[in-house]
Amino acid sequence: MRTTTEHSRRRTGTARRWWGLAGFVAAVFAAAAVGSLAASNAAARYASIEQPTWAPPPWLFGPVWTVLYVTIALAGWLAWRRVGFSPALVAWVVQLVLNAAWTPLFFAAGRYGLAFAEVVLLWLAIGATVLFFRRVSRPAAALMLPYWAWVTFAAALNYSVWQLNG
């Protein structure tokens, strides 16, 4: 039979995990909100710039980023559950800050070359995060892979837009 103290500890641990997940979702939501505010005219700007023939339609970005932001939050949460705030989580925070910074550079400022340099840093930060996460939680690392792949594609698109509109 469990004691009241054991039951209380178990409930506290469960609550801590769920509050932790809420914190990671909030952090990712904040990064997405920065991008959303900076991209208030994104559809118009995207339509007005010269793009490569392989550029995706504007409607695709919202659903893709929604899924990716969910996986980014889950990955951070899984790693945090295993090792707490550690170098792995520092890498996760760095990539999230870089993620938030790209949209204002590209859409709000129209600085395609600077946005490309920034997305290269983002790509490297995601890679570092994957490597750190792989050591502490393979599922967390795996959840970051679609994001890394999409940012690879986004970097190629950013580069092409920069070359076509530079």
- Per-residue pLDDT 10s for the chain (166 aa) are 555 555 555 555 676 777 788 889 999 999 999 877 877 777 788 889 999 999 999 889 989 999 999 999 999 999 999 988 899 999 999 999 999 999 999 988 899 999 999 999 999 999 999 999 999 999 999 999 999 999 999 999 999 999 999 7
Degrees to nearest 5, angle at CA 119 with 43 and 80: 105
8 Cβ neighbours under 8 A, 6+ residues apart: none
pLDDT at position 45, please? 83
Kind and range of the H or E run holding 132: helix 112-136
* Other Cβ atoms closer than 10 A to 97: 14
pLDDT at position 108, please? 87
Closest to 121 in 3D by CA, of 76, 77, 158, 78 = 158
Q: Would you give the DSSP letter of residue 21? A: H
* Other Cβ atoms closer than 10 A to 118: 20
Percent helix / strand / coil, the chain, rounded to 5: 85, 0, 15
The full DSSP string for 76-102 is HHHHHHHH-SSHHHHHHHHHHHHHHHH
Whole-structure pTM value:
0.85
Decide if 133 contacts 75 (C-beta within 8 A): yes
CA distance 125 to 99: 10
CA distance 166 to 146: 29
120 Cβ neighbours under 8 A, 6+ residues apart: 155
pLDDT at position 40, please? 73
What's the distance, CA 92 to chain centroid? 8
